[in-house]
Structure 1
Amino acid sequence: MSLKKMLKMLKSEVMSNLSEQSATSIVKKTLVLEKLFQLLNQKKCNILFHMSDEKENTYEKEIEDEIDSEKRKMMISYH
């Protein structure tokens, strides 16, 4: 086999390996990004649930305060 053919074959083998490594690297990066987006989405959902719970608790507290206020008014009006 001539030197030129051997160099061409080696070059094509190296390029093939580089392509496989690049493809593997791209797949790994894609999987990492996908996992990050999943985590961010989960974090976003958790924050929204937390905000919803806080609003609900605030609303319940306001209702309780209003009921207590009405009870006090009624007690005062009965005396």
Structure 2
Amino acid sequence: MYYFGTNLDERFSVPEFWPKPEQANKVPLEKDEIHAELQRLRARRLYLRERRLEQEARQQPPPPPSGDDK
């Protein structure tokens, strides 16, 4: 497709296509920021692991009672 004209930016631009800088991810550069980000990721990972283990425990049927009552 070829288009010749002076209003290319107005005609073919998509408003708000790119995120604003405050909405984008920022790479931590300082040591404290890196440490805080690692703590946040670790806490999130442990929270999701705990939820997954609870869900798996709820889905598993209880073990059958054994007949070894002495």
What range describes the TM-score normalised by the shorter chain of this pair? 0.3 to 0.5
Larger radius of gyration: 1
TM-score (norm 2): 0.46
Higher relative contact order (CA 8 A, sep 6+): 2
TM-score (norm 1): 0.42
More helix by share: 1
